Amino acid sequence: SSEVLEAIENVIQDVLKSLAQKKAPVLTLADRSNWRNIEFKDSVGIQMIPHTTTKQVRMDCPRSAHKFALILKLLSMIYKMVQSNTYATKRDIYYSDTLLFGSQCIVDNLINEISCMLKIPRRSLHILSTTKGFVAGSLSYTEEDGTKVNCTCSATAVTVPSNVQGIRNLISQAKFMLIVEKDATFQRLLDDDFCNKMSPCIMITGRGIPDLNTRLLVRKLWDTFQIPIFTLMDADPHGVEIMCIYKYGSLSMSFEAHHLTVPSIKWLGLLPSDLERLNIHKDALIPFTKQDQKKLASIQKRPYIACQPMWKRELEIMAASKLKAEIQVLTSLSSDFLSRVYLPNKLQFGGWL
């Protein structure tokens, strides 16, 4: 906490120095949305380069004065929370002054900017994000406050903890971990008792694009158990994008890649090549939108695709067909095809990339 306080004090001192010299104060932020500031490393995924291009938030510029004020406001809130050892969610912060902040999205983005500027992980700023992910299967642990949690597979899943760093005494008999893109598929596998039927496993869903806590938990489980991790996504550009976030990280959080990515993650399904192999009827597939084409083209250009020839081939199949499929398409073969045939065969015969 002293490191956080010191980092904030340094920023404020620079502001005061500029004011004393009758100069307009300036905050310098790394340009987090620029791929040129990113390098790809096999062992980490995409991470920010040490000397990034920056952007300035000036107090004397009408375009950025409001942003400057918001950053100082957030710094003062963080400073008070760290000093008093209290925590707030990003939602609490937004609702503390909705007129000032304007939208939740602005708060979320500024918190990431501050975390990157101070070079301090977001959870050390005493800001918690609301968790939306679920976990189930062969896993038990103790939360920071001493609560014992058992995720053993039943019809209900456990919410991913809001303080992943604080959990301890992790115990599991799992042979593998399965990350499921969508909540509906996750619930279906729970209903089919997949965690116990196949072999003990841990299932996780971020319910779409994963939040920070879900990504932290996947990483923590990997560090603790070192078991294979597979992903089950829709065969569409959005599903591939989500899988890449778990495996290689995201552009906006590349400055924290070391805590968040698991480069050993494997793509289990739904593979574009599976659709042909399983004779899925064309009528059950969905035509690409312009947005899908754009998204796929941008993924194909990313630095990590070049070192994944098998992935590259799957993306080419998808691009050529201009068709996408949701995991639910497998129910056209039989209602429990996913848990009874598809996943067991894939896991038994090594059908992953």
179-188 tens-digit pLDDT: 999 998 998 8
Same-domain check for residues 162 and 295: yes
Asked if 135 and 183 count as a contact pair (C-beta separation under 8 A), the reply is no
> Pick from 177, 217, 182, 183: which is nearest to 200 by CA?
177
Same-domain check for residues 195 and 103: no
Peptide bond into 70 cis (omega under 30): no
| pLDDT tier for residue 154 given thresholds of 50, 70 and 90 | low
Query: Of 95, 141, 246, 342, which is the active-site residue?
Result: 95
Q: Is 87 labeled as catalytic in the residue annotation? A: no
Rounded to two decimals, the pTM is 0.83
Of 77, 110, 128, the residue at which a domain comes to its end is 128
- Residue 172: left if φ>0, alpha if ψ -120 to 50, beta else—which one? beta
Of 80, 111, 128, the residue at which a domain comes to its end is 128
Average pLDDT over residues 182-199: 86
Position 60 scores a pLDDT of 82
Domain total of the chain: 2
Same-domain check for residues 82 and 222: no
Distance (Å, rounded) from C-alpha 270 to C-alpha 245?
17
Please check the confidence at residue 221 and state whether its pLDDT lies above 90: yes
CATH number of residue 274's parent domain: 3.40.1360.10
> Pick from 107, 353, 102, 147: which is nearest to 232 by CA?
353
Please check the confidence at residue 153 and state whether its pLDDT lies above 60: no
CATH number of residue 20's parent domain: 1.10.10.10
Position 336 scores a pLDDT of 84
102-121 tens-digit pLDDT: 899 899 889 988 888 888 88
Same-domain check for residues 139 and 221: yes
Of 111, 128, 145, the residue at which a domain comes to its end is 128
Same-domain check for residues 338 and 209: yes
Distance (Å, rounded) from C-alpha 318 to C-alpha 296?
9
Domain extent, residue 286, equals: 134-349
Which is more confidently placed, 255 or 120? 120
Asked if 136 and 205 count as a contact pair (C-beta separation under 8 A), the reply is no
- Residue 40: left if φ>0, alpha if ψ -120 to 50, beta else—which one? beta
